[in-house]
Structure 1
């Protein structure tokens, strides 16, 4: 019985303030509240800035979260088989170099996987298609085919670019997405909770003021000492919650973490593009030389004809 009575008292103690706040909120929404305690200008300005910061995080994360999806640039119209994804381009080139017949070359292209399936990225898909094209030409031509040779080298380069892209994505996930998600789901949530506490304290204060004013027939100067003490206690609570929320919001806005995370995002992208440039810059002269050589051979054939 004692436990039931204690539970009833605790429930009543927690429910009554909630009911008072709810009633006050409804009155304000209906325009029936005479007075509403105003928040400090500094507090209102901080709220606007926090809301803007939250929107920025939501918008950018909505886009950059794609870095967690390996196949974000994988062509949707591509149909690659399990065997197509079985081995790396480098492994296939090594197997092809050991092939002594068209049948062995085909077996090398469709060799069962040695580890996990190959990544589904645009660059890896280009690499696989280029190597397949290289072998199609090689098997249909006697001797060296310049285009087949160029496609094989291109396939190896594109695989390297694809691996660089995956390294970029891993960096972005750990150094940018993790940080911005923490800010959005932890720091900004703390700020939202602190602001909610301020709103609850304000509603409670205004509810008590309205109640005591009604009990004094609208004359706040004619309040009892107990009534004044209750209002002062509610005012102190409101001021305390407001100061706490100001501190929390300033901390969220002043932390350098989001900007540091953005710098890490840019650094990861820069490193990827730098590696891509280096890989393709090394490949381009080789392909150019093959192209020049083929053009010279083609001119000789035409002149001899």
Structure 2
């Protein structure tokens, strides 16, 4: 089940069943067998139907895969670090922590009374259960605690995470460092055009007003509704890419169909093209947009 806040469906809060390797293998063989009949595009769609919706993050030559709900939560975690003016290292620490504690899922269960992305406990003063299950609230409380750790930005990720969490298995955070750092680099705008998501169309159109509210909540930025789109022009190119990457990673929640920044564009689909950003070709009479302008469209492009 999913819950809705301000009209935006937030990431799932229950455990995800795992497909068996045998089942995936059988369906993959069927996909390959269909190649001669359906062609390449048809096979792409069948393979994605087998593997399901997914997001991919690419930075410094390495690629990592996320389920859409995990990517959405990682985007919120990173956006809040940007909003607070924290170094990208803070987002890396937070994502690695959430990977270990909850697999970056906003779960309603855990050890004793642990809840949410960081498995925070109401009985230990992290907030009420309702508060902890708000990803923005739980992320802010994590950063509040992290900022009290002297020299955290110079620590190993596992050491900094453990200083906040005080886990019985503190060294386990280290195994997530590569994926956490790459994801934080892309979602903070340090790496451009590094995230793509293959997603089915939403069951109902997203709301531009809801995207504006979520943009304000995560980044503290003001977006403008323009028809079926939200337009925002951050003050720097990196921040523009942070917002654009956030919009792709949170598309599973918001229903975003297309995201454009400068002359690069992501378009929602279940094909491999959804893992990349295309280049927009201007007509002879068209003017180039502001390079820092981000347009998030909630309607299928014609």
TM bin, normalised by shorter chain, reads under 0.3
Structure holding more helix per residue: 1
TM-score (normalizing by structure 2): 0.21
TM-score (normalizing by structure 1): 0.21
The one of the two structures with greater contact order (alpha-carbon pairs below 8 A, sep at least 6) is 1
Structure holding more strand per residue: 2
Return the index of the structure with the highest Cα Rg.
Answer: 1
